[in-house]
Chain A
Amino acid sequence: MFSLEGKTALVTGASGGLGAAIARALHAQGAELVLSGTRESALAELADSLGSRAHPCVANLSDGPEADALVGKAEALLGRPLDILVNNAGLTRDGLAIRMKDEDWQKVMTVDLESPFRLCRAALKGMLRRRAGRIVNIASIVGVTGNAGQANYAAAKSGMIGMTKSLAQEAGSRGVTVNVIAPGFVETAMTAVLPEAQREKLLGSIPLGRMGKPEDIAAAVVYLASEEAGWVTGMTMNVNGGMAMP
C-alpha cells in the first residue's frame, strides 16, 4: 500500500526540516522528486543523500513570477508531468498585532498563502487535463485555532485551508484531490526558537505527551499523495498529538 513508484512530486521548502522529511518519505515510497527551496547547499545535500530520483531546484517563492514558473521548471527537470505537489514552504514573522509591521504581514501572506496558490494554479492546469493528480498543502494547527503573536501566520494558514476546500471542489470532477495537513508543534527550526517555559506549557496541552517529529507529518503526506487516498479531498488532516480536535 501507499506505493508512489513511478510518480513524480514537487516539494517546496525542501531545504527545511519538515520539507526534507517529507521528501525522504515520498522518495522511500518510490517517487521521483524535485526539491525546491531557497538554500542551494541544503538542497544539494538532501539530493545527494537520496541518491537517484532527486533534482534540486532553487526558487524564491516570495517572487510571484518565480513561483508561477516553478511547476514548469520542475516538469522540465523531471522530463514528464507532475503527479504530486506538496506546498510545504512557509515562514513566520511573529509579533503581537499592535506592533506588527506591514511588511511582516505582507511577507507571510506572500510566501505562505499567495505562493501556494500560484503553485496550485500552475499544477492544476495539467492535472485537470490528465485527470489525475494530488495536491497536499501544509498549513498549521495555528490556522485552525489561532495563536497570539501569529495573526499573520494564522491568517495565511487559515486562508490555505479555505483555498484547499475550494480547489478540492473545483478539481473533484477530474479525480484530482486537494487536501491540507495542519501539523501541531513539530521539532523543527521554526519551533526551536520557542522559550523553554512556553515549550513546557505546550507539552502539557498535548495528550500524546510529546512534540511531533517531522516524520509524523511526512507519513500523512505519503497517505494523501497515494492512490489509496483517492476518495479523500478537501480534508484538513490534523496531525498534532491530540492538541486540538476541531
Chain B
Amino acid sequence: MSENPASAAPVEKLGQTEFVYIHPFWEFWNYFRSSKGALAGLVFIFAAILVAVFAPFIVPHHPFEQYRDALLVPPVWESGNSSFILGTDDLGRDILSRIIYGTRISLSISLMVVILSLATGVVIGLIAGYFRGMIEMLIMRLMDIMLALPSLLLAIAIVAVLGPSLVNAALAISIVSLPHYVRLTRAATIGEVNRDYVISSRVSGAGVFRIMFITILPNCWAPLIVQSTLGISNAILDLAALGFLGLGAQPPTPEWGTMLSNALQFLQRAWWVVTFPGLIILLSVLAFNLMGDGLRDALDPKLKK
C-alpha cells in the first residue's frame, strides 16, 4: 500500500513543508485501480451497459421470435446451429438474444430499485439521525421489524399483496433494502451532527433542511455509495429469485430469473437452457460486488495506511 503513488499526496519536505496537491478524485482513482478485481468489475459493468443500450443492434434474433423448427437446439460447439450461438429454448427462441435483452431489464430495474431505496432511505435516515428522540425510536423499531424478516420472505409477502409483476417485484425489493440505507445514513448523521462544522453552520443561521442536506449529507456519501453498489448486486439477485419463483417478471419477458423458472423440466435434456442465464446473473452480481469492495477500500480512510 505504501508504495502507492497516492500516499505521497502531501509531501512534507524537511524544514519547509511543501504540498503537492492531488485532486481527491485522482487519489481515489489511484487506490481503486490498484485492485485488479475492482477494475475487472468496472470493465464488465461498462460492457454490460453498452450491451444493454445497443441490444437491438447486436442481437442475432428477436428475443420473442419462436423458431418452430429449432426447438432446444444445443450451443454451437455442441454440434448446434451456427445461427444460435448459445442454443435455443423449448419454444425455439434464441437464448443469447434473450440474455442480451435481459441485461436491459436487470440493469435498469436494479438501478431504479437502488435509486428508489437510496433516496427514501437517506431522507428517513437523516430525519432519524438529526431529530433523534421519539421519531428516531419509531423509525429504528420499524427498521428492526423489517430486518427481523428474511429479506426474500418479506419481498415475497409484498409481492403477494401487490400481485406478481416486474414493477411490483422491483417495488418490493426497494422496500426490503430500505433498512440498510436508513441505518447507514442515521449512523453517519449522528457521527457528523455534533462536529464543529455543523455547529458553526447552525450558529450562522442555516435552516434545518440546509444543514441536513447541504451540510451533513455530503459528508456521509462514501458509505452510501459503497452500499448502493452492493445494493445493485442484491437487487439483481432478488429480482432473479422472484422471477424464478414466478413472482417477478412474467413470461415471455426475457428476464434472467424468469428464463430459469420453467427450465427445470429440461434439466435432463438441455443443460444450456438452465446454465447460461444463471451464469450471466453470477457474473453481473460478481462484477458489482468486486466494484463495491474496491470502492469501499478506496473510500474508507481507515484502510488507507
A and B part of one assembly: no
Please list the residues of chain A having a beta carbon within 8 angstroms of any beta carbon in chain B: none
Interface residues of B (CB under 8 A from A): none
